[in-house]
Amino acid sequence: MTLAAKAAMAGAVSTNDSAANRPAKRFHVKSFGCQMNVYDSERMGDLLSAEGMTAVDSAEAADVVVLNTCHIREKAAEKLYSDIGRLRRPRADGSRPTIVAAGCVAQAEGAEIAARAPDVDVIVGPLAYHRLPQLLEQARQQRAIDIDMPPVPKFDALPARRIRQASAFLTVQEGCDKFCTFCVVPYTRGPETSRPAADLLREAEGLVARGVKEITLLGQNVNAYHGGLNLAGLIRALAAIDGLERIRYTTSHPRDMDDDLIAAHAEVEKLMPYLHLPVQSGSSRILKAMNRAHTRESYLATLARLRAARPDIALSGDFIVGFPGETEADFEATLRIVAEVGYAAAFSFKYSIRPGTPAATMADQVPEDVKEERLARLQAEIARQSLAFNQASIGRRCTVLLERPGRKPGQLIGKTPWLQSAVVSLPGAAIGDLVAVEIVGAMPNSVDTIPLSPSESAAA
Ligand code: SAH
Ligand code: SF4
Ligand code: F3S
């Protein structure tokens, strides 16, 4: 469908007589979703900056507000409408910003947004946002909608990265063909595609030239990457970039943890000893209903191979409680796998019905109060495990990449190799520095450190 046809489908001609009709100068992008959504937000920022616009920290001060939405659970999607409600109210000077609904809700519910929120000026999906400047131009006349999944990859059309941070995301793979029965991602991000390795090496070199020391490779199924190299090959090629100190990747699917990638964890020093490998449930029966293509046993076997390759590897995961048909016994299998694995961290969610996915219409939906109760028990177990992980790391010497100021004066917060938040007090240290420390204290969500002297850090 052409843009004009889509605009006609949307019906409404934008009637606001303020921001949409004058050249917009200041923009604000708000992310609601996963790390890839954050990457996309940065890239939309790069696009608008390349148009001569300026990023501002608050939506209130912006002429263009991009709401980069997430559709993964019902609550995430609802946030869009409450934000639109707030933004559409006229400001003191009578103006209101141009509102862009971007991201996975825009992709999945573009027509519904158009009907429900006439004040939205642009609706753009995650595979079409490279056209944002043209859509904004078009929105000066009438609402613009672009939720195509174009054959031309958006990445070729994006300008150079502008971020200045110690740690940066880099999308290497997008989309998913796995169709877990609970999940919207295959519908919002389209089929799995990998970016060519040469493009990624170029983007990574550009990031390192801007001072980036850590790159996290992103993909909905990042370990299924196949852009000329496999993921292990890409990691090895990235590790050769001088000045790049740390490499991470997320999110992996247990099915695609191949021998080469596991070997990379043993060999590549810059590859951090941390892996987010969602299992979703500890019950093989539920995993089958989820169409996860792994069992409890095959997942544990994969972890055993990883730990043999890299004994200090820290693990994290995602869990869904209350998937249709989940019994108390299934749930207890999930609690047991958490204790057995000893996760350093984990994310857990109540199953959320996503219209259009197979699980939405499965029998035996679990009542809300049962989901609540299971989630609380699971989160208590996860908290116990992450505290135990942090406690077990006391005495370890490692580096911390400093990312932001701490709560107390003189403190900085950064990440250990195992992705723990670490508090560092080191006079003269600055954000972006990689400092050597010893871990001396453990809290549930962070560790305390003391800096090592230069001679100690050489020995560490
Ligand atoms: N690609 C990743 C996950 C992407 S979504 C993977 O394969 O694991 C991030 C997490 O959101 C999922 O791991 C899952 O735990 C959770 N999630 C996805 N759909 C959900 C739903 N319908 N209800 C609750 N949680 C969900
Ligand atoms: Fe969703 Fe499953 Fe694909 Fe992950 S692998 S994005 S959970 S469908
Ligand atoms: Fe959400 Fe889309 Fe990411 S649904 S989790 S923003 S891929």
pLDDT at 207 over 50: yes
Overall number of domains in the chain: 3
Q: Is the CB of 70 inside a 6 Å radius of any atom of ligand 3?
A: yes
109 Cα–ligand 3 center, Å? 13
* Structural domain contains residue 153: no
* Structural domain contains residue 310: yes
Instruction: Give me the percent of the chain exceeding a pLDDT of 70.
Output: 93
pLDDT at 416 over 50: yes
Residue 13's pLDDT band, with cuts at 50, 70 and 90, is very low
pLDDT at 153 over 80: no
Q: Which ligand is nearest to the CA of 354?
A: 1
* 335 lies in the same domain as 412: no
Q: What is the pLDDT of residues 422-438, one digit of tens each?
A: 999 999 999 999 999 99
- Per the structure, the complete domain to which residue 442 belongs is given by 397-459
Q: Is the CB of 354 inside a 6 Å radius of any atom of ligand 1?
A: yes
* 103 lies in the same domain as 244: no
226 Cα–ligand 2 center, Å? 17
* Structural domain contains residue 154: no
Closest atom of ligand 3 to CA, residue 35: 3
Which CATH number goes with the domain that contains 21?
3.40.50.12160
* Structural domain contains residue 339: yes
Mean predicted confidence (pLDDT) in 141-157: 84
Q: In this predicted structure, what is the pLDDT of residue 459?
A: 58
Which CATH number goes with the domain that contains 454?
2.40.50.140
Residue 106 near residue 125 (C-beta atoms within 8 A):
yes
Helix (H) or strand (E) holding 308: helix 296-309
406 Cα–ligand 1 center, Å? 31
Nearest residue CA, atom 1 of ligand 3? 70
Residue 120 and residue 98: Cα distance in Å, rounded? 7
Q: What is the pLDDT of residues 82-115, one digit of tens each?
A: 999 999 888 888 889 999 999 999 999 999 999 9
312 Cα–ligand 2 center, Å? 27
Angle (CA) 424-425-430 rounded to 5° is 80
Helix (H, G, I), strand (E, B) or coil at 24: coil
Residue 80 and residue 73: Cα distance in Å, rounded? 12
Q: Is the CB of 320 inside a 6 Å radius of any atom of ligand 1?
A: yes
Helix (H, G, I), strand (E, B) or coil at 209: helix
* 185 lies in the same domain as 301: yes
Q: Is the CB of 36 inside a 6 Å radius of any atom of ligand 3?
A: yes
Boundary-marking domain end, from 115, 146, 177: 146
pTM for this one? 0.92
* 133 lies in the same domain as 167: no
* 250 lies in the same domain as 376: yes
Residue 447 near residue 441 (C-beta atoms within 8 A):
yes
Q: In this predicted structure, what is the pLDDT of residue 411?
A: 95
pLDDT at 6 over 50: no
* 388 lies in the same domain as 298: yes
Q: What is the pLDDT of residues 211-264, one digit of tens each?
A: 999 999 999 999 999 999 999 999 999 999 999 999 999 999 999 999 999 999
Residue 78 and residue 332: Cα distance in Å, rounded? 31
Residue 276 near residue 250 (C-beta atoms within 8 A):
yes
